[in-house]
């Protein structure tokens, strides 16, 4: 589905207002995560250094960040941990777009404002086929524009406390097929005290964070979409194994 010009303009305007307001929205973002939530990553410097090296080695490529999913604010947490405020302010295109469920974040006016400025494209998982196609067309267009995007290959929060490939969303593989130049980054995020999924992490939670390149082999067709997505799961599961090995 080709994205209509008016939707392209709406996304450009949203990106512009997100950048203009980042001077106050960014510090508020940090305040909510660091001071109100008390969330921290002990290896923050090393994680950011690793990510910076990956991005410098792959200049100009659109970035797709694929992550496991345990809380409703995973994309906020990852943004706060992976990118410093100064780097986002000077390179706002690095601030990734997120794809939240409209039912969860679209009913409250304040949340809608924060999602708008925080570069979100709503999706209605229980909506019409046309609505879902439009959301995906927006994500595809943004990808071709060179923007960074968050996706959760599981589609929703895990129900088993670990990565669950049984609920894989294969549309992620379609995005890579459509734009093979995409840099696929797998990011694993998990609180050291987390046992299962939750709405928010507990206050003061300390997080394990890792990020690495997933060199997906491009395979055509619908079967290829599945295989590409499962390659991301392979990468995420390897990261999860490292997390649990470190806990023993």
Domain spans, the chain: 5-247
**Whole-prediction pTM value?**
0.93
The torsion angles phi and psi of 214, rounded to 5 degrees, stand at -110, 105
CA distance 135 to 123: 6
C-beta of residue 191 within 8 angstroms of C-beta of residue 205: yes
Q: How far is CA 226 from CA 61, 155, 215, 230, 231, in A?
A: 23, 14, 15, 6, 9
Q: Does domain 5-247 have CATH number 3.40.1130?
A: yes
Per-residue tens of pLDDT for the chain, all 248 residues:
789 999 999 999 999 999 999 999 989 888 889 888 999 999 999 999 999 999 999 998 999 999 999 999 999 999 999 998 888 888 898 899 999 888 877 678 888 999 999 999 998 877 788 888 999 999 999 999 999 999 999 888 888 889 998 888 888 899 999 999 999 999 999 999 998 888 899 999 999 999 999 999 988 888 999 999 999 999 999 999 999 987 76
CA distance 78 to 58: 20
C-beta of residue 217 within 8 angstroms of C-beta of residue 232: no
Q: Which helix (H) or strand (E) holds 149?
A: strand 149-151
CA distance 131 to 63: 24
The torsion angles phi and psi of 66, rounded to 5 degrees, stand at -105, 125
How far is Cα of residue 217 from the mean position of the Cα atoms in its chain?
Answer: 21
Reduce the DSSP state of residue 247 to 3 states and report it.
helix
β-pairing, 149-151 vs 207-213, is unpaired
């Amino acid at each position: 589905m080709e994205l209509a010009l008016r939707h392209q303009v709406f996304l450009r305007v949203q990106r512009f207002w997100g950048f203009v307001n980042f001077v106050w929205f960014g510090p508020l973002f940090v305040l909510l995560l660091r001071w109100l939530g008390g969330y921290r990553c002990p290896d923050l410097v090393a994680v950011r250094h690793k990510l910076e090296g990956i991005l410098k080695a792959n200049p100009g490529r659109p970035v797709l960040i694929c992550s496991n999913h345990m809380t409703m604010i995973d994309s906020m947490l990852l943004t706060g941990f992976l990118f410093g405020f100064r780097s986002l302010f000077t390179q706002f295109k690095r601030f990734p777009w997120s794809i939240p469920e409209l039912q969860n974040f679209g009913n409250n006016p304040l949340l809608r404002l924060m999602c708008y400025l925080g570069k979100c494209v709503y999706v209605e998982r229980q909506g019409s086929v046309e609505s879902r196609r439009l959301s995906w067309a927006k994500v595809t267009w943004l990808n071709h524009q060179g923007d960074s995007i968050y996706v959760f290959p599981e589609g929703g929060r895990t129900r088993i406390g670990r990565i669950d490939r049984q609920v894989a969303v294969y549309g992620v593989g379609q995005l890579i097929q459509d734009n093979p130049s995409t840099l696929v980054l797998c990011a694993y995020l998990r609180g050291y005290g987390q046992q299962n999924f939750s709405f928010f992490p507990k206050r003061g939670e300390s997080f394990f964070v890792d990020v690495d390149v997933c060199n997906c082999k491009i395979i055509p067709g619908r079967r290829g979409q599945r295989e590409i997505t499962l390659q991301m799961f392979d990468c995420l599961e390897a990261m999860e194994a490292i997390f649990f090995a470190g806990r023993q």
